[in-house]
Amino acid sequence: MQIPDILMIIAVILIFALILKILKVSLKMIIKTVINAIIGAIVLYLINFIPNVNIEINLLSSILVGTLGLLGVLITLIMSMIK
């Protein structure tokens, strides 16, 4: 994972948190969502160390992981296996 990939994931997380704040979502929900997204990004990074698994970290996977967390990682993993 390169620096631009990490910055893209951070940007998606921050934009999502800003949207939640604008929509008056509670701070507890925002923190829970951000933590979920960070854990998802870390898991996505670690999955790339598994042999024969190569998940591209692009805008789509960053949005999925940033909004859905571990579920987003699972969806991205399934999409990469279908290719």
24: containing domain: 3-82
d(CA 17, CA 34): 7
Which pLDDT score is estimated for 29? Answer: 78
12-62: per-residue pLDDT in tens?
888 887 887 888 777 787 788 778 777 887 888 888 888 888 888 777 777
Q: What is the largest CA-CA distance in the chain?
A: 43
pTM: 0.63
Please state, as a whole number, how many other Cβ atoms lie within 10 Å of the Cβ of residue 7.
11
53 contacts 44 by C-beta, under 8 angstroms? no
Q: Cα 64 to the chain's mean position, in Å? A: 6
Q: Structural domain tally of the chain? A: 1
Query: What's the CA angle centered on 11, arms 58 and 35, to 5 degrees?
Result: 100
Which pLDDT score is estimated for 27? Answer: 75
